[in-house]
Amino acid sequence: MAGLTLKGIVKRYGNANPTLKGIDLDIRDGEFLVLVGPSGCGKSTLLRTIAGLESITAGDLYIGDRRVNDVHPKDRDIAMVFQSYALYPHMTIRRNISFGLEVRKMPKDQIDELVAEASEMLGLNEHLDKLPKMLSGGQRQRVAMGRAIVRRPKVFLFDEPLSNLDAALRTQMRVEIRRLHKKLNTTIIYVTHDQVEAMTLADRIAVLNGGYLQQVGSPLELFLMPKNKFVAGFIGSPAMNFIDAKIESADDKKFVRIDEKNRIELSSNVAGKVDNAQSVTLGIRPQDVVLAEDGLEANLHVNVDVIETLGWESHVHFKLGDLTFLAVLEAQKVASFADGQTVGLHVPANAIHLFDAQTEVAIAHGGQLDTQAHKQTNEAATQDDAEVTCS
């Protein structure tokens, strides 16, 4: 096993603007780190740079204590699993898993032992003598993983390995990949554009956008305390609601004013971080909204637009002036809503996020990471975050 250190990694193709713009990142030994971001953000380029499939324009890359900028991919002691399974169609599953070891002239008894161990781990024992065309997509992806496992590398690299699978198989494979990491306890760097995959798999998530590293932290840290509007909007499903607003004061209290009808009182820890009349972007997660009932004050008045019923819960799209506002509410409580109906919602003060209207950098978050475990996670990430370049 080995950790990785990236110092000022830049990747430029010809005279074009850099694809990677000075990435600083420490990946811990045995960590499951997920690189996530929209298409074109640089996450796959960064992974290929780590693999040695792309040269580094500037900066330094270390695997363990070894600088590997100029080390050939085959000598970096890494294994990569791609989006396409890249299996040999004429070879059995056993040969597909073992072929790389055969090329390295490893003794047959060692190869057999490693293949048996990997196939047992991945549930492939009964398929070893079959051809790839006889397996499902999920089984083929497990074969590709088995081919990587038998190499016993220091680092595993996964490049969107679940993109070609249907929703049910993606869920199953997420569980299997997480279970595999627990068994191997090897460093894994995993690229995806799917933030649900990122949240469910990662020890830590690195969010990229436009070639910059926006934030690194645990899934819960990024969800509760995003450093800027981009991270807040990208992490979490459904996405956070954003509303242009202003800060106002009244009766020794501070509020975030949305329009003539709607304002939300700020908690004391947030009120001290903003000034009266300051322009802000208000962020509210759909899951944090509740109906104004049982004595709760309605601090947000909206009109029903579209209701999506998803079993126990419903995604209710409301109109708030010219904006669409989404809330996740209990399905039974909204079943009687009519189109255009005015509804009173309650947004708790500890559920709001405020971002600077110009820079989009986070000003304050109503919620906090309270548990000792997440306090330790934050402290461990502090040094990493100090080196993060934000756009």
Which residues contact residue 88 at a Cβ distance below 8 angstroms, ignoring those fewer than 6 apart?
A: 95, 96, 99, 132
For residue 312 the two structure tokens come to 């126990």
Residue 209 CA to residue 75 CA, distance in Å, equals 30
- What pLDDT does 168 receive? 80
User: Which residue from 387, 34, 388 is spatially nearest to 214, judged by alpha carbons?
Assistant: 388
Which residues contact residue 330 at a Cβ distance below 8 angstroms, ignoring those fewer than 6 apart?
A: 312, 313, 314
- What pLDDT does 368 receive? 58
For residue 88 the two structure tokens come to 């040999």
- At which residue do the structure tokens 């997480």 appear? 178
- What pLDDT does 379 receive? 47
Bin 208: left if φ > 0, else alpha if -120 < ψ < 50, else beta. Answer: beta
| 280 and 363 Cβ atoms separated by less than 8 Å | yes
- What pLDDT does 180 receive? 85
| 102 and 150 Cβ atoms separated by less than 8 Å | no
Q: pLDDT below 70 — which residues of the chain?
A: 1, 367-391
| 42 and 30 Cβ atoms separated by less than 8 Å | no
- What pLDDT does 151 receive? 87
For residue 277 the two structure tokens come to 């009349």
- What pLDDT does 1 receive? 61
- What pLDDT does 386 receive? 40
pLDDT per residue as tens digits for the range 106-138: 999 999 999 998 898 888 999 999 999 999 888
**Dihedral angle sign, alpha carbons of residues 32, 38, 42, 47:** positive
| 307 and 326 Cβ atoms separated by less than 8 Å | no
Q: Helix 108-122 and helix 93-103: axis angle, to 10°? A: 140
Give whole-number Cα distances, 188 to 148, 177, 185, 382, in Å. Answer: 12, 10, 9, 21
**Dihedral angle sign, alpha carbons of residues 111, 117, 122, 127:** positive
Q: How many helices (H) and strands (E) does the chain have?
A: 11, 21
